[in-house]
């Protein structure tokens, strides 16, 4: 796998006179249609022209609205793009509008742009807002290119203009952090978008090996199936044995601080999910290549952490397997023993994510984590319940859940917490084992989380169901890279 990274050189200025004239200047405008004349490359004639256009309602300032003007007296083009209502503006809208307008410019031959960010910045957190802006614009250039003639971009220079006084060293630090986060997001997207005939468990393990070569401080360990058998990981092996592709558990360690308990992140890495013997319907089954998005998130987060040298110990664990209906595949009715000793009756082989995760969670406990967060495209039920906008959040610790929600609000990578009442655990009871791997017809996302919670009694744990948020469909079909930004902010904040 090659992660293609066209260079975007960001420069910072407090005034337009401090930078060379760009090909295009971007101005974000709220629906109140007020334009700050200062720090913009606008001539008086251009400003008058723009205001006349606004009066005629040819530009509304609504989200998705944009309008291009030729700037009188120069070669600069001016693009206004809508920010919507000021009272509703926040990280989610910021990321959406910046991504949209940057992608439009990337399709042109323009080589340089400038943008006035003063009306985009949250005054209580100026530096983190600036970081989000740069991360979003840098990440916007990502595109999966497995073509004979890959797409290339002409845009090379992005000038950030703001009244905020920053030293060159401070901006360099913000820029480095922003690009590290963007690289992590892009890597997660690249892995998710890679076709399943290429991205198999061995491919994911090799990706981590390449990461180790790029960042030697990263420690890695790969558990093969023979070692898993010694550890008693019967749940994981019940999933991987249906495929010719051997399963792997990959552990990554970023431990810059001695004698400090780590934050552990665990990702589901089912590189293709047919459902096994409980075969999925064929429409849209191609999207099951995204069933490794939890693992892609973990790899992306670990890359960002080592690249920006985060001063927090982080353990990343990914569970890499294919769920195939081979002759050795698990059957409904099989009973397996997990690494924890808990026995599980498999009633549906398409509920395989919880089986690989439960053994990985048990294994990860040996690191004595302060917090353990798992991420998984776990249930279609979460998508039914919440749609494609927030990830489902479950936790056995309310303080941990609140910390995650705070990072979600800050990054615009939204979550919504769902309950874990005792009633849901009752649905996992069976006559033939300690628990079964599915609950009843309703609340499938919750009973799946309840299954995982059975293995987390002695740790502070949270589960993110990203089945609805890990990829887009339709014209923008592809991996979203979520929830990389959320998890990175959680690690940096805690």
pLDDT per position in the chain (494 positions), as tens? 334 444 579 999 988 878 888 999 999 999 999 887 665 777 788 888 888 888 787 789 999 999 988 877 778 899 999 999 999 999 999 999 999 999 999 999 999 999 999 999 998 899 999 999 999 999 999 999 887 777 788 999 999 999 899 999 999 999 999 999 999 999 999 999 999 999 999 999 999 999 999 999 999 999 999 999 999 999 999 999 999 999 999 999 999 999 899 999 999 999 999 999 999 999 999 999 999 999 999 999 999 999 999 999 999 999 999 999 999 999 999 999 999 999 999 999 999 999 999 999 999 999 999 999 999 999 999 999 999 999 999 999 999 999 999 999 999 999 999 999 999 999 999 999 999 999 999 999 999 999 999 999 999 999 999 999 999 999 989 999 999 999 999 999 99
DSSP state of 17: G
Question: What are the φ and ψ backbone dihedral angles of 189, each rounded to 5 degrees?
Answer: -65, -45
Measured between alpha carbons, how far is 296 from 361 in angstroms, rounded to an integer?
A: 17
The reply to whether domains 9-165 and 186-493 share a CATH topology is: no
Nearest to 1 by CA among 249, 221, 211: 211
Q: Residue 483 and residue 297: Cα distance in Å, rounded?
A: 7
Which residues are CB-contacts of 176 (< 8 A; sequence separation ≥ 6)? 308
Active-site choice (179, 354, 414, 454): 354
For the chain, the maximum distance between any two Cα atoms, rounded to a whole number of angstroms, is 82
Contact 58, 29 (CB under 8 A): no
| Tokens of residue 339, six digits | 């690494």
* Angle (nearest 5°) at CA 364 between 399 and 206: 120
The residue written with tokens 């927090």 in the block is 312
Pick the closest to residue 160 from 125, 186, 127 (CA basis). 127
DSSP β-ladder status, 435-436 and 343-345:
parallel
DSSP three-state, residue 264: strand
Per DSSP, the three-state class of 347 is coil
Query: End-to-end alpha-carbon separation of the chain, Å?
Result: 32
| Ordered alpha helix ranges (H), 140-200 | 168-193
DSSP 186: H
Nearest to 291 by CA among 270, 317, 315, 262: 270
Measured from the Cβ of residue 442, the count of other Cβ atoms closer than 10 Å reads: 11
Q: Match domain 9-165 to its CATH number in 3.40.220.10, 3.40.50.1370, 3.30.70.380, 3.30.70.600.
A: 3.40.220.10
Q: How far is it, in rounded angstroms, from Cα 302 to Cα 297?
A: 9
Could you say which of 3.40.50.2300, 3.40.630.10, 2.60.120.10, 3.90.1570.10 is the CATH number of the domain covering 186-493?
Answer: 3.40.630.10
Residue 38 pLDDT: 61
For residue 284, give every residue at least 6 positions away whose Cβ sits within 8 Å of its Cβ, in sequence order, or none.
none
Adjacent-strand bridge partners of 384: none
429 included as an active-site residue = no
280 is catalytic: yes
Distance (Å, rounded) from C-alpha 59 to C-alpha 61? 6
- pLDDT for res 23: 94
Domain boundaries, the chain: 9-165, 186-493
Please, are residues 386 and 475 in contact by the beta-carbon 8 Å criterion?
no
**Torsions phi, psi for 439 (to 5 deg):** -100, -150
Q: Provide Rg for the chain, Cα atoms.
A: 24
What's the confidence (pLDDT) of residue 166?
92
DSSP 76: -
Distance between CA atoms of 127 and 162, rounded to whole angstroms? 11
If we measure between CA atoms, which residue out of 303, 328, 182 comes closest to residue 244? Answer: 328
| Closest of 439, 243, 275, 251 to residue 359, by C-alpha | 251
Whole-number pLDDT of residue 37? 63
Query: Tokens at residue 175, please?
Result: 């820029």
Name the catalytic one among 67, 212, 241, 280. 280
């Amino acid at each position: 796998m090659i992660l293609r990274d066209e260079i975007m050189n960001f420069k910072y200025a407090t005034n337009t006179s401090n930078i060379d004239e760009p090909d295009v200047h971007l101005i974000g405008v709220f629906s109140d249609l007020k334009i700050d004349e200062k720090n913009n490359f606008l001539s008086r004639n251009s400003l008058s022209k723009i205001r006349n256009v606004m009066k005629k309602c040819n530009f509304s300032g609504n989200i998705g609205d944009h309008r291009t003007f030729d700037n009188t007296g120069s070669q600069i083009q001016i693009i206004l793009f809508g920010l919507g209502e000021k009272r509703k503006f926040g990280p989610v809208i910021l990321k959406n509008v910046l991504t949209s307008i940057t992608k439009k410019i990337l399709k042109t031959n323009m080589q340089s742009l400038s943008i006035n960010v003063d009306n985009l910045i949250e005054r209580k957190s100026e530096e983190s807002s600036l970081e989000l802006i740069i991360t979003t614009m840098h990440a916007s250039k990502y595109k999966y290119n497995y073509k004979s003639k890959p797409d290339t971009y002409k845009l090379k220079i992005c000038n950030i203009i703001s009244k905020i006084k920053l030293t060159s060293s401070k901006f360099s630090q913000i820029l480095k952090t922003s690009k590290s986060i963007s690289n992590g997001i892009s890597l997660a997207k690249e892995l998710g978008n890679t076709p399943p005939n290429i991205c198999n468990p061995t491919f994911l393990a090799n990706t981590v090996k390449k990461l180790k070569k790029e960042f030697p401080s990263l420690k890695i360990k790969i558990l093969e199936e023979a070692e898993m058998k010694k550890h008693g990981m019967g749940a994981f092996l019940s999933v991987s044995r249906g495929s010719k592709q051997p399963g792997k558990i990959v552990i990554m360690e970023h431990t810059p601080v001695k004698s400090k308990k780590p934050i552990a992140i665990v990702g589901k890495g089912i590189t293709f999910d047919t459902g096994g013997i409980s075969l999925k319907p064929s429409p849209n089954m191609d999207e099951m290549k995204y069933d490794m998005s939890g693992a892609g998130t973990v790899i992306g987060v670990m890359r960002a952490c080592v690249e920006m040298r985060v001063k927090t110990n982080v353990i990343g664990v990914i569970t890499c397997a294919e769920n195939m209906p081979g002759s050795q595949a698990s059957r409904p009715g099989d009973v397996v023993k997990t690494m924890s000793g808990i026995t599980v009756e498999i009633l549906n082989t398409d509920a395989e994510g919880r089986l690989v995760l439960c053994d990985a969670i048990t294994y990860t406990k040996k690191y004595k984590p302060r917090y353990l967060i798992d991420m998984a495209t776990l249930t279609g039920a979460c998508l039914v319940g919440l749609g494609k906008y927030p990830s489902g959040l479950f936790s056995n610790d309310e303080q941990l859940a609140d910390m995650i929600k705070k990072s979600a609000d800050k990054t615009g990578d939204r979550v919504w917490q769902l309950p874990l009442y005792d009633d849901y655990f009752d649905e996992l009871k069976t006559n033939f084992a300690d628990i079964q791997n599915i609950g009843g017809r309703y609340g499938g996302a919750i009973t799946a989380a309840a299954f995982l919670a059975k293995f987390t009694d002695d740790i502070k744990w949270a589960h993110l169901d990203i089945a609805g948020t890990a990829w887009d469909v339709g014209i923008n079909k592809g991996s979203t890279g979520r929830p990389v930004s959320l998890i990175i902010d959680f690690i940096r904040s805690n």
